[in-house]
């Protein structure tokens, strides 16, 4: 269980304020979607949540503790991340990429996650040959085999077909029902986000 | 495993052939090769075991060092065209050795020279890396750093007039002719320790291929992994540069050949690249000293001839898959 609180957050990128005085509370046991038009700071907000960029003012806390006080390892223990950028240039298999750098507990769950995300058929295939949707599922698998309190996913459905979308939503709902905090960004209309419990909007500055 | 055994079996065969080939025709060459402790005062025996053998072992040692150095350079920068010559590592090592020699602190082939080379290599690599903001920038900046340091080495060599200047100059273009058995005994343990450390950190290099953000998100420090790889890289390049000078393109080409044979996993790539690096340099050196005897061809030009096409092919194929 982890409560995520964003208080009076401002983020500067290349001299431009992309997030200004933004506050939100993201509750555990919820799926929260962050939505907003291009340039509204959605990605910056997400990058700040996962600790990739520094904030100009305000704070982000996980269960009351400021995220800047977490070590890399502590951050990795409390939250799992799926970002959009991926660059596979070496022909590792899907199974190998999912296992890379993971602890024994996570590695033990690979077979299960491959089946859940319908990836068994291409588990031994090289990641360099995957379609956009398949590669995205590899990244989702890398995050979901980790047992975390918070899951942060940047547009996890953007490259998926209808069946995969439904499958991923079901998995996220199951995690929510276990009391996990799920944060996703989305580029779509609110009406398509009925599977989310809370929607946070960012606006262009 | 079968592929590795095949590569490892070919190596001693090529080594024995390399002992048999050379500028002078040696009578009963095979009996001398297969009886290393018999008739040791015979001139033919001395040509094979005192002149050719150190070169053969040097080619194996330096080739293996550069093979692993290439794996570390490409793995740590997550860049398929990184190599010690392109990152400035080799030029830094050359300058380090030259400074040591000019101030009469070290002689080429001593442990001191390895230390000077390693420090120069590490500083140059860190300098290139600290200036670069992307994979492509790293290569262009590395080429620039490399050119500046090489120019300093070249100009210094052209200006000095010392008795050993000629051998230093010869060394700076890359040659296995100056290697002595003593140098090899100094370098062998350093190489072995660096090779084992490279093998041990191989899974971390696999992880770096996913990009720094992915590494950080699961709690690892990409820069820390990279600094460790650079330190081992610097030692391996120092082993090579301090004894035989700069050998171009070998470290770039060998990991690509090894990946083609056995895939990208760094745990197997380290021993494979060591074996293939040894094989390629041994072949190139044997060709360098036996194509137009008694003249010796510059080995760096032969390795460029093998390595540069692989660089071009990799660039052509690489497209936009880099980070």
Whether the predicted pLDDT of B321 surpasses 50: no
Which CATH number do you get for residue B275?
1.10.3470.10
Contact residues, A window 136-175, toward B, CB-based 8 Å cutoff? 142, 146
Interface touch B214/A83, C-beta < 8 Å: yes
Q: What is the pLDDT of residue B278?
A: 95
**What is the domain count for chain B?**
1
Considering only CA atoms, which of A1, A60, A55 is closest in space to residue A25? A60
Q: 0.95 cut: is pTM over it?
A: no
Q: Which residues of B128-146 are buried (b: 16+ CB within 10 A; e: fewer)?
A: bbeebeebeebbebbeebb
Q: What is the pLDDT of residue B310?
A: 76
The confidence band for A78, taking pLDDT boundaries of 50, 70 and 90, is very high
Contacts of B206 in chain A (CB under 8 A): 92, 96, 100
What is the three-class DSSP state of A141? helix
Q: What is the pLDDT of residue A136?
A: 95
Establish if B5 belongs to a structural domain.
no
Chain A interface test: which of B218, B219, B225, B322 (most A C-beta within 10 Å):
B218
Whether the predicted pLDDT of B319 surpasses 70: no
Q: Which residues of B274-307 are buried (b: 16+ CB within 10 A; e: fewer)?
A: bbbbbbbbbbbbbebbeeeeeebeebbebbbebb
The confidence band for B313, taking pLDDT boundaries of 50, 70 and 90, is confident
Q: What is the pLDDT of residue B41?
A: 81
Of B297 and A87, which is predicted with more confidence?
A: B297
Q: What is the pLDDT of residue B322?
A: 37
Contacts of B322 in chain A (CB under 8 A): 87, 89
Residue in B204, B219, B263 nearest the CB of A76: B219
Structural domain including B217 reads 62-316
A56-70 pLDDT, tens digit per residue, is: 999 999 999 999 999
Residues B236, B217: Cα–Cα separation, whole Å: 31
Q: What is the pLDDT of residue B224?
A: 92
Q: What is the pLDDT of residue B114?
A: 86
Kindly list the strands in the beta sheet with A65-66, ordered across the sheet, starting from the edge strand earlier in the chain: A16-26, A4-13, A57-62, A65-66
Chain B positions touching chain A (beta carbons under 8 Å): 80, 203-204, 206-207, 209-211, 213-221, 259, 263-265, 318, 321-323
Residue located via tokens 């989702």: A140
In degrees, rounded to 5, the angle at the alpha carbon of residue B5 between the alpha carbons of residues B275 and B255 is 35
B221-248 pLDDT, tens digit per residue, is: 998 999 999 999 999 999 998 888 888 8
A124-140 pLDDT, tens digit per residue, is: 999 999 999 999 999 99
Contact residues, A window 40-69, toward B, CB-based 8 Å cutoff? 50-52
Neighbours of B259 (CB within 10 A): 21
Mean pLDDT of the B66-94 span? 91
Residues A8, A181: Cα–Cα separation, whole Å: 21
A16-51 pLDDT, tens digit per residue, is: 888 999 999 999 999 999 998 887 888 899 999 999
Residue in A81, A92, A102 nearest the CB of B264: A92
Interface touch B216/A87, C-beta < 8 Å: no
B253-276 pLDDT, tens digit per residue, is: 999 988 888 889 999 999 999 999
Torsion over CA: B323, B248, B147, B232 (sign): positive
Establish if B2 belongs to a structural domain.
no
Burial of B167 (0-12, 13-18, 19+ CB in 10 A): middle
The confidence band for A205, taking pLDDT boundaries of 50, 70 and 90, is low
Considering only alpha carbons, which residue of chain A is nearest residue B215?
A: A101
**What is the domain count for chain A?**
1
A136-162 pLDDT, tens digit per residue, is: 999 999 999 999 999 999 999 988 999
Q: What is the pLDDT of residue A111?
A: 95
Q: What is the pLDDT of residue B260?
A: 85
Residue located via tokens 């692993």: B68
B100-155 pLDDT, tens digit per residue, is: 988 888 887 778 888 999 999 999 999 998 898 776 788 889 999 999 999 999 89
Q: What is the pLDDT of residue B323?
A: 30
Interface touch B219/A51, C-beta < 8 Å: no
Q: For residues B208 and B163, is the Cβ–Cβ distance under 8 A? A: no
Structural domain including A40 reads 4-201
Alpha helices in chain A (DSSP H): 42-49, 72-78, 94-99, 104-107, 110-116, 132-144, 162-177
- Mean pLDDT across chain B: 87
In this structure, are strands A181-186 and A150-154 parallel, antiparallel, or unpaired? parallel
In this structure, are strands A65-66 and A198-201 parallel, antiparallel, or unpaired? unpaired
Whether the predicted pLDDT of B299 surpasses 60: yes
Q: Which of A96-110, B57-71, B93-107 has the lowest mean pLDDT?
A: B93-107
Q: What is the pLDDT of residue B317?
A: 67
Which CATH number do you get for residue A150?
3.40.50.300
């Amino acid at each position: 269980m982890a409560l995520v609180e964003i208080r009076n957050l401002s983020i500067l990128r290349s001299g431009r304020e992309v997030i200004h005085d933004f506050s939100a509370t993201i509750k555990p046991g919820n799926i929260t979607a962050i939505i907003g038009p291009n340039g509204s700071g959605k990605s910056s907000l997400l990058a700040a949540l996962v600790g990739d960029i520094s904030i100009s003012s305000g704070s982000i806390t996980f269960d009351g503790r400021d995220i800047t006080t977490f070590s890399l390892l502590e951050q990795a223990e409390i939250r799992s991340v799926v970002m959009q950028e991926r660059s596979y240039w070496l022909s590792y298999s899907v199974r190998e990429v999912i296992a890379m750098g993971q602890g024994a507990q996570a590695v033990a769950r690979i077979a299960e996650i491959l089946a859940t995300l319908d990836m068994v058929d291409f588990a031994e295939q090289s990641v360099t040959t995957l379609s956009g949707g398949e590669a995205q599922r590899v990244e989702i698998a890398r995050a979901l085999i980790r047992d975390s309190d918070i899951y942060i996913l940047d547009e996890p459905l953007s490259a998926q077909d209808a069946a995969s979308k439904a499958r991923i939503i079901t998995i996220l709902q199951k995690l929510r029902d276990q009391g996990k905090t799920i944060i996703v960004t989305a580029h779509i209309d609110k009406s398509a986000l009925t599977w989310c419990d809370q929607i946070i909007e960012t606006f262009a500055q | 495993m079968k592929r590795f055994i095949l590569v490892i079996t070919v190596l001693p065969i090529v080594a024995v052939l390399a002992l048999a080939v050379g500028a002078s025709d040696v009578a009963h060459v095979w009996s001398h090769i297969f009886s290393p402790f018999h008739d040791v005062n015979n001139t033919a025996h001395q040509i094979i075991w005192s002149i050719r053998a150190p070169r053969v072992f040097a080619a194996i040692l330096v080739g293996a060092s550069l093979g692993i150095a290439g794996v570390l350079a490409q793995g740590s920068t997550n860049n398929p065209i990184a190599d010690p010559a392109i990152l400035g590592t080799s030029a830094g090592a050359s300058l380090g050795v030259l400074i040591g020699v000019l101030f009469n602190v070290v002689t080429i082939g001593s442990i001191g020279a390895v230390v000077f080379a390693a420090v120069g290599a590490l500083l140059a690599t860190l300098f290139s890396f600290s200036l670069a903001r992307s994979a492509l920038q790293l290569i262009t900046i590395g080429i620039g750093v490399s050119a500046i340091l090489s120019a300093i080495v070249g100009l210094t060599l052209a200006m000095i007039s010392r008795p050993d200047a000629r051998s230093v100059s010869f060394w700076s273009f890359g040659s296995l002719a100056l290697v002595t058995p003593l140098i090899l005994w100094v370098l062998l343990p350093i190489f072995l320790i660096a090779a084992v450390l490279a093998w041990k950190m191989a899974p971390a290099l696999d992880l770096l291929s996913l990009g720094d953000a992915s590494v950080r998100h699961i709690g690892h420090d990409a820069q820390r992994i990279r600094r460790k790889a650079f330190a081992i890289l610097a030692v391996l390049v120092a082993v090579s540069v301090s004894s035989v000078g700069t050998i171009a393109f070998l470290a770039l080409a060998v990991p690509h050949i090894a990946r083609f044979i056995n895939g990208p996993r760094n745990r197997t790539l380290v021993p494979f690249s060591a074996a293939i690096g040894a094989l390629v340099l041994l072949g190139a050196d044997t060709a360098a000293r036996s194509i137009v005897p008694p003249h010796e061809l510059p080995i760096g030009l032969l390795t460029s001839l093998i390595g540069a096409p692989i660089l071009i092919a990799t660039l052509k194929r690489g497209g936009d898959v880099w980070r």
